[in-house]
Structure 1
Amino acid sequence: MEQTGEDLMERRSGVALWRQVADRIRLGISNGTLGEGGRLPPEITLSQQFGVNRHTVRAAISALVQEGVLRAEQGRGTFVESRKRLAYPITTRTRFSTGLKDQTRARRVNLLRHVVEPAPTRVAEALQLEPGAPVHRLETLSEADGRCVSRGTSWFDATRFPGFADVFVETGSITASFARFGVDDYVRRSTLVSARHADAEDLDTLKLSPGAIVLVTIAINDDLDGRPIQFSETHFSADLVELTIET
């Protein structure tokens, strides 16, 4: 038996109907079943397709417009934004500024928060430190041409890199900050990539709407002697960025 749009909506899942509709519109755009010719069907058609009222469809579309997935034009309808995703390369030497250099005009990384804390277990293991050893935790927001591309959390050995956050504020660059401490080059040891729905902090920091997908990378960088110097977790907006693995 074929499922109806109403059957597909999980009305008792605890997830708002408008968010479920937004997810299905986003999926339909991705797989080509919605947005043929760059234009969405009318609200009444979508409400019938998903088995919800027009107010719910309108709320879903409004969220996707705010996120930049759709564009509403008065008197004409709703259109799919055709912005090309940025290709972010994961390489032996992954760098934010150089990785997007040929695709964007301006790039910057802003420090949101900084704290020195005892290393949590996974951080201590990644940086090969004793559990509880002091580490810098830097939370950053990366922008390209005024768009919020990713938010990241990075940890550094506070004993080896004293005052790292102050140096970062001055240089605006992890690479340039490492150079101040005599680390002129470093390489990516490992990168774990996954995808999931954006959490509350992703929504706020990356200016996403509920239901948006983020790509998550967990990475370790080593100096050229093979000593780990950075452990990081970065969340990318999947509607703006695609990750390319280069070997």
Structure 2
Amino acid sequence: MSEIERGRGVALWSQISGILADDILKGVLRQGEQLPSAQELAARFNVNRHTVRRAVAALEERNLVRTEQGRGTFVQEHALDYPISRRTRFTQNMRNLNVEADIEVLEDAREIPPPQVAQALCMDRHAYAYRIETLSRADGHIVDHSTAYFPAARFAGLPAVYRRLRSVTRTLEEFGVTDYERKHTRVSARLPDAHTARLMRQPANRPLLYVQSINTDTRGMPVQYGITRFSGDWVQLVLMADS
């Protein structure tokens, strides 16, 4: 069925949602393809845009489509399996998945961090840390917005090194940290704040996978506290046996 039928006891938005879902499942609408606009769909089915929006919302609930603010609605692709283990490395994870990765540095600052960050890094509560904000992409899709803190006293000048290398592993190596591992990981689902929602081009009412982590060197000293906000549309977290 490709046309809706009025008067048969089934809501118009439900029929439209079913037709579009069938197009997606049959491959008529391919993964990553943008859906026609609400105006175009309204004209196709001879309904108002409110009916179309309700139909699209039903597709989102089934995880068949995703909406990006300012861009439109797209057929959902398969999410990436992102392993979290004792040695989690973003670039290596993307390489293992045969995905082209890119990290954009949004901001860096030297500041007194929040008390919980200072405690996690075993720092005096009045000591300074470097904060680095990044946006990571996989094959051009935004997969996370991250905030990383590093003890400033131990890693003087770290932001400049990170901007040059775009890698935590290689940056820490420049400071003599030849290896580090994940000491602590906490995963939860949270709604993004307005800033993160804008950066990740997603609605503010769609939860993110919120990951807090602490990395330590081979002596057990904390070297990084991280907050990573993963897009649930693009990433599935896989907790490995050694995590």
Structure-2-length-normalised TM-score: 0.73
- Pairing partner for 1:101 from 88, 91, 95: 95
Query: What's the offset of the Cα at 1:118?
Result: 1.2
Q: Tell me whether 1:155 sits opposite 2:149 in the alignment.
A: yes
SS in 2 for 1:110: strand
Equivalent in the alignment of 2:176: 182
Equivalent in the alignment of 1:146: 140
Please list every run of 5 or more consecutive structure 1 residues that lacks an aligned counterpart in the other structure: 1-24, 44-52, 72-80
- Pairing partner for 2:116 from 122, 132, 144: 122
Equivalent in the alignment of 2:193: 199
Equivalent in the alignment of 1:38: 24
Query: What's the offset of the Cα at 1:59?
Result: 4.5
Q: Are the aligned partners of 1:214 and 1:237 in contact in 2 as well (CA < 8 Å)?
A: yes
SS in 2 for 1:100: helix
SS in 2 for 1:184: coil
158-167 or 101-110, which moves further after superposition? 101-110
Q: Deviations over 1:51-78 (max 9, x none)?
A: xx9433545649944369954xxxxxxx
Equivalent in the alignment of 1:88: 82
Please list every run of 5 or more consecutive structure 2 residues that lacks an aligned counterpart in the other structure: 1-13, 30-37, 39-46, 61-65
Q: Are the aligned partners of 2:94 and 2:100 in contact in 1 as well (CA < 8 Å)?
A: no
Equivalent in the alignment of 1:46: none
Q: Deviations over 1:9-55 (max 9, x none)?
A: xxxxxxxxxxxxxxxx9xxx9xxxx9356369xx9xxxxxxxxx943
SS in 2 for 1:238: coil
CA distance in 2, matches of 1:213, 1:104: 27
Q: Which runs of 4+ in 1 moved over 4 A?
A: 67-70
Equivalent in the alignment of 1:232: 226
Equivalent in the alignment of 2:9: none
CA distance in 1, matches of 2:211, 2:72: 23
CA distance in 2, matches of 1:189, 1:113: 26
RMSD (CA atoms): 2.9
SS in 2 for 1:98: helix
CA distance in 2, matches of 1:227, 1:161: 13
